[in-house]
Chain A
């Protein structure tokens, strides 16, 4: 993270959103919204007086609700950049005009309540989409798993925060309900996934190993702890993966092949009823904590991103690559590349590999100054074009514009409107040729005349 921030060729734009993407390979124009931070980051030194003094408390997204943060905050102590923003939805001053403590305490006068969102226009030759994933909301887990209704039922990522030294407990594995050390922990795999009827049909690929890691950490941290893992089957394909899973088993994690039917709350603890299909018997575990391995889903906002970029998605919202085997980091739009979990569930090594793969594609593009394009594009006979704009409506790529032209005829100047095709944007589908009533639009390589001649030569 620090390497990124310090790299002279990288400009970090945090707290930003893409508003619009126009153009084509080598020539993208992007509108970026810089959201108001209400803190002048030029002046701010990141000393922390402001967030220490801020009186309002908000559930901390970074700890997935397991802790509270302030209205003026940094996500975590090692955040990059290490300077705060004000969450305007919860700030007392921005909403009610009261408070204003952060401004009072700031030694560098960096707080600016009047800051507004800014729209910046920038030009790029290539774009990499690496928008990542979210966890399929634990709420989507079956109601009988008590997620959201019992504090000791957590998602895998929440549990990760409990394990973390920067987390709400400083890395102690305790029960949120009473703060006692968790001694008996049940992990439930494939919650809401690999089950079309109850959630997602696919396997998220990371949960088996994430759980094996978490089990290992529990057994290492809490002496005498018991770990139970309910699973459908273990998926550990990859270098050193199977061995890692085996290690967790040897360390004492009890793997039970079967589903959990129901969890009953009993005070602070949870009675987990499931089955062990290998032994063919019912299992009952009296657990302190239950951790649900929920599915990976595309990060929130994928619909908007798909519309902005024109990159299609699969049935689950993951961005569609140009070819599942041979073009895994390219989209169908030239110059727009995909990397990481926005394209499909994957773990860190695979995400990093794909990140580098997309970078290689960008560099290949940047190694040339000019790019040759496919000449199979639409072309307009301006003399015949009536300027009706029908072609404009059917063009999926926004390659056609209407333009005024000036014609000199018998000493008078006449103005008329004609369609123009941007060859760099046109994908050569030819839909416009069909919509064109005067027959002014033609497609190079598949001309009206050529196609008709071909059909004419059928069955003489």
Chain B
């Protein structure tokens, strides 16, 4: 997806809202590790714990977009 300079200039404070569905056994643990190492990332990221990436129903993803997510990440 190309983001032109125009867009960046007109909306300098814009932060994408990202919902990440993270598998409890790997990606969620990875997000915990990021915390442990004090890696900073935008606060607009929301992580939802799932027991497996296989648990992520497409309905959840659509619902997240409906709620205003700009991007959804399924990690596992």
A and B: direct contact (Cβ < 8 Å)? yes
Known: A451-B60, A452-B59. A431 touches B67 (CB 8 A): no
Bound-state CA distance A454–B19 (Å) is 12
Interchain residue pairs with CB less than 8 A apart (14): A428-B52, A429-B52, A430-B51, A430-B54, A433-B57, A434-B55, A434-B57, A434-B58, A451-B50, A451-B55, A455-B48, A455-B67, A456-B63, A459-B46
Do the beta carbons of B51 and A376 come within 8 Å of each other?
yes
Do the beta carbons of B51 and A429 come within 8 Å of each other?
yes
Residues of A at under 8 Å CB distance from B? 376, 394, 428-431, 433-434, 443, 445-446, 448, 451-452, 454-456, 458-459
Which residues of chain A are near B17, meaning CB under 8 Å?
Answer: 459
Do the beta carbons of A458 and B58 come within 8 Å of each other?
no
Do the beta carbons of B54 and A458 come within 8 Å of each other?
no
Bound-state CA distance A431–B56 (Å) is 8
Q: A445's contact among B51, B56, B59, by CB below 8 Å, is which?
A: B51
Please report which residues of chain B, range 36-68, place their CB below 8 angstroms from some CB of chain A when the two chains form the complex: 46, 48, 50-52, 54-60, 63-64, 67-68
Bound-state CA distance A384–B3 (Å) is 46
Q: A429's contact among B19, B48, B54, B57, by CB below 8 Å, is which?
A: B54
Interface residue B69 (Cβ < 8 Å from any Cβ of A): yes
Do the beta carbons of A430 and B67 come within 8 Å of each other?
no
Bound-state CA distance A456–B67 (Å) is 7
Which residues of chain B are near A454, meaning CB under 8 Å?
Answer: 48
A203 → chain B closest CB, angstroms: 27
Given contact pairs A431-B55, A434-B57, a sample of 17 additional A-B residue pairs in the complex whose CB atoms are under 8 Å apart: A428-B52, A430-B55, A431-B52, A443-B51, A451-B55, A451-B57, A452-B63, A454-B48, A455-B48, A455-B63, A455-B67, A456-B63, A458-B19, A458-B46, A458-B64, A458-B69, A459-B67
Q: Closest B-chain residue to A451, C-beta based?
A: B60
Q: A459's contact among B50, B51, B68, by CB below 8 Å, is which?
A: B68
Bound-state CA distance A119–B52 (Å) is 37
Known: A455-B64, A458-B67. A443 touches B48 (CB 8 A): no
A393 → chain B closest CB, angstroms: 12
A4 → chain B closest CB, angstroms: 38
Which residues of chain B are near A456, meaning CB under 8 Å?
Answer: 63, 67
Bound-state CA distance A451–B55 (Å) is 10
Q: Closest B-chain residue to A431, C-beta based?
A: B54
A126 → chain B closest CB, angstroms: 23
Known: A455-B19, A458-B19. A434 touches B54 (CB 8 A): yes
Residues of B at under 8 Å CB distance from A? 17, 19, 46, 48, 50-52, 54-60, 63-64, 67-69
Which residues of chain A are near B63, meaning CB under 8 Å?
Answer: 452, 455-456
Q: Closest A-chain residue to B63, C-beta based?
A: A455
Do the beta carbons of B56 and A434 come within 8 Å of each other?
yes
Which residues of chain B are near A459, meaning CB under 8 Å?
Answer: 17, 46, 67-68
B58 → chain A closest CB, angstroms: 7
Do the beta carbons of B68 and A394 come within 8 Å of each other?
no
Bound-state CA distance A139–B68 (Å) is 61
Bound-state CA distance A433–B19 (Å) is 21
Residue of B17, B55, B63, B64 with highest tally of chain A CB at under 10 A: B55
Which residues of chain A are near B64, meaning CB under 8 Å?
Answer: 455, 458
Q: Closest B-chain residue to A429, C-beta based?
A: B52
Do the beta carbons of B57 and A448 come within 8 Å of each other?
yes
A228 → chain B closest CB, angstroms: 48
Known: A434-B55, A434-B58, A452-B60. A446 touches B67 (CB 8 A): no
Which residues of chain B are near A451, meaning CB under 8 Å?
Answer: 48, 50, 55, 57, 60
Q: Closest A-chain residue to B57, C-beta based?
A: A434
Q: Closest B-chain residue to A459, C-beta based?
A: B68
Which residues of chain A are near B46, meaning CB under 8 Å?
Answer: 458-459
Q: Closest B-chain residue to A374, C-beta based?
A: B51
A278 → chain B closest CB, angstroms: 41
B67 → chain A closest CB, angstroms: 5
Do the beta carbons of B55 and A446 come within 8 Å of each other?
yes
Q: Closest B-chain residue to A395, C-beta based?
A: B54
Bound-state CA distance A430–B52 (Å) is 7
Known: A433-B57, A434-B56, A452-B59. A446 touches B68 (CB 8 A): no
Q: Closest A-chain residue to B50, C-beta based?
A: A446
Bound-state CA distance A434–B58 (Å) is 8
Do the beta carbons of B55 and A455 come within 8 Å of each other?
no
Do the beta carbons of B51 and A428 come within 8 Å of each other?
yes
Bound-state CA distance A428–B55 (Å) is 9
A360 → chain B closest CB, angstroms: 25
Bound-state CA distance A434–B76 (Å) is 15
Which residues of chain B are near A443, meaning CB under 8 Å?
Answer: 51, 55
Bound-state CA distance A433–B57 (Å) is 8
Do the beta carbons of B51 and A394 come within 8 Å of each other?
no
Which residues of chain A are near B19, meaning CB under 8 Å?
Answer: 455, 458
Q: Closest B-chain residue to A454, C-beta based?
A: B48
Bound-state CA distance A417–B69 (Å) is 40
